[in-house]
Copies of this chain bind each other. A is one copy, B any other.
Amino acid sequence: MKLVTAIIKPFRLDEVKDALRELGVNGLTVSEVQGYGRQRGHTEVYRGAEYEIDFVPKVRVEVLVDDADVTRITEKLLEAARTGKIGDGKVWVTPVESVIRVRTGESGSDAL
């Protein structure tokens, strides 16, 4: 079992969700984050005082997937999230030792 985590541009979330749904992914978890990276932030001005804000709003998508599906899902996700402009984000994969569905106690693939 793996956890695929993606940091993406917020407005790509819809595409990513739809793309994963097409692959039969039944669930995912999303949260709002702030990213710092090559993509520059922006300047804000309040009464003449300029603030450099380094952080850019991003969305984190987490999907638990079966080992066998990692590549397929990652690729689809990359494709859906890509705009080709700087700041598109990262996807990474981490090992998961066990997964359990809270409602039923099922574990492993059955929990997804």
Task: Give the interface of A toward B (CB within 8 A).
Answer: 1-3, 6-8, 17, 26-38, 54-55, 58, 60, 64, 74, 78, 81-103, 105, 111
Q: Name the distance in Å between A63's Cβ and chain B's nearest Cβ.
A: 10
Closest to A9 in B: B102
Cβ-defined contact, A93 with B102, below 8 A: no
Q: How far is the CA of A103 from the CA of B78 in the complex (A)?
A: 8
Bound state CA distance, A36 and B32, in angstroms? 14
Among A17, A87, A92, A95, which residue has the most Cβ atoms of chain B within 10 A?
Answer: A92
Beyond A26-B37, A29-B58, A38-B27, whether A92 also contacts B99 by CB under 8 A is yes
Chain B residues with CB under 8 Å of A74's CB are: 100
Q: Which residue of B lies closest to A77 (CB)?
A: B102
